[in-house]
């Protein structure tokens, strides 16, 4: 893993942007793997402000809440449109369909999308408990897209974006860890003290399904961009 320490999320967004830009200019990107959450917002601001053209690219997102319509302002569809897609049109934007009638079929459909659109660069945030996408602790490293039950800790952390905690969906569709590891390059972003323990476990801890992001140690092209607070527990 390559670790890049930055001052704050603005500098982190800028670094991630530069990596993506260089790969795009070199002609290495057909599909971008994208993430939601507040962490990638500064990166998306950079992409929007840039003169990069995404109209020949596809995007594949990590996850979506089960039970939210794409127009719902808490859905990840809505988030992505607001922060990136409305400003920067892509050829195709793929996300799981939170309203799919048949969860198993939806997961199979999404796995086919990932197979048809190999991810060149995957952007990741990280949950306070070390989750990536919505792969909660003890998700199998061999897992593909599945419907997952969110942990209390994730529901609590994500409730800040909802009016009340009871409004947070209890389930989500998430790309699996196996699919995430198939991306050619992975950029993990983490900012703030609440991410320090997860970052320590991800980078210096054992590779264990108890810390989903520790699976990234098995990938040979991972860049971790952390601010000073998120890096404060690292010893090396």
Q: Does 173 bind ligand GLP (CB under 6 A)?
A: no
Catalytic-residue membership of 167: no
Single out the residue of 126, 113, 127 nearest to residue 187, CA to CA: 126
As a whole number of angstroms, the distance between CA 93 and CA 62 comes to 12
Catalytic residue among 83, 93, 106, 131: 131
Alpha-carbon dihedral sign for residues 87, 57, 53, 175:
positive
b/e 201-234 (16+ beta carbons within 10 angstroms → b): bbbebeeebebbbbbbbebeebbbbbbebbbebb
State the nearest-atom distance from the C-beta of 38 to ligand GLP, in Å. Answer: 4
What is the chain's percent helix, strand, coil content, to nearest 5?
35, 20, 45
Q: Does 133 bind ligand GLP (CB under 6 A)?
A: yes
**Which range binds ligand GLP by CB under 6 A, 24-32, 34-42, 102-110, 224-232?**
34-42
10: burial class by Cβ within 10 Å (0-12, 13-18, 19+)?
middle
In this structure, what token pair is assigned to residue 138?
Answer: 């003890």
Catalytic-residue membership of 131: yes
Among 9, 31, 39, 117, binds ligand GLP (CB under 6 A): 39
How far are the Cα atoms of 120, 160, 205 from residue 221, in angstroms, in the given order? 11, 33, 18
Catalytic residue among 46, 64, 120, 136: 136
Among 75, 158, 179, 201, binds ligand GLP (CB under 6 A): 158
Q: How far apart are the first and last CA of the chain?
A: 12
Catalytic-residue membership of 158: no
Catalytic residue among 63, 106, 120, 227: 63
Catalytic-residue membership of 86: no
Among 9, 15, 33, 36, binds ligand GLP (CB under 6 A): 36
Q: Which is nearer to ligand GLP, 54 or 134 (CB)?
A: 134
As a whole number of angstroms, the distance between CA 117 and CA 110 comes to 10
Question: How many binding residues for ligand GLP (CB under 6 A)?
Answer: 14
100: burial class by Cβ within 10 Å (0-12, 13-18, 19+)?
middle
Q: Does 169 bind ligand GLP (CB under 6 A)?
A: no
* Positions in 1-20 near ligand GLP (CB under 6 A): none
Among 6, 29, 32, 35, binds ligand GLP (CB under 6 A): 35
Among 63, 64, 106, 227, binds ligand GLP (CB under 6 A): 63
**Which range binds ligand GLP by CB under 6 A, 29-37, 99-107, 111-119, 180-188?**
29-37
Q: Does 176 bind ligand GLP (CB under 6 A)?
A: no
Instruction: Please give the positions annotated as active site.
Output: 63, 129, 131, 136
Binding residues for ligand GLP (CB under 6 A): 35-39, 62-63, 125-127, 133-134, 154, 158
């Amino acid at each position: 893993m390559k670790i890049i320490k930055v001052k704050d999320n603005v500098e982190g967004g800028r670094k991630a942007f530069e990596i993506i830009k260089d790969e795009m200019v070199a002609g290495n990107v057909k599909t971008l793997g994208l993430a939601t959450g507040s962490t990638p917002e500064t990166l998306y601001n950079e992409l929007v402000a840039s003169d990069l053209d995404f109209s020949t690219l596809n995007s594949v997102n990590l996850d979506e809440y089960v039970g939210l319509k794409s127009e719902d302002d808490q859905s990840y569809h809505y988030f992505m449109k607001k922060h990136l897609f409305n400003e920067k049109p892509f050829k195709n934007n793929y996300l799981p369909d939170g309203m799919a009638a048949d969860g198993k079929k939806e997961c199979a459909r999404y796995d086919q999308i990932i197979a048809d659109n190999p991810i060149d660069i995957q952007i990741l945030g990280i949950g306070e408990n070390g989750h990536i996408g919505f792969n909660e602790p003890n998700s199998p490293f061999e897992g593909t897209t599945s419907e997952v039950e969110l942990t209390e800790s994730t529901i609590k952390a994500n409730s800040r974006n909802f009016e009340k905690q009871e409004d947070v969906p209890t389930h989500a569709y998430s790309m699996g860890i196996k699919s995430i590891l198939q991306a050619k390059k992975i950029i993990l972003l983490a900012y703030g003290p609440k991410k320090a323990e997860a970052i320590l476990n991800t980078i210096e801890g054992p590779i264990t399904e108890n810390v989903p992001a520790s699976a990234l140690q098995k990938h040979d092209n991972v860049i971790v961009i952390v601010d000073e607070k998120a890096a404060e527990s690292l010893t090396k």
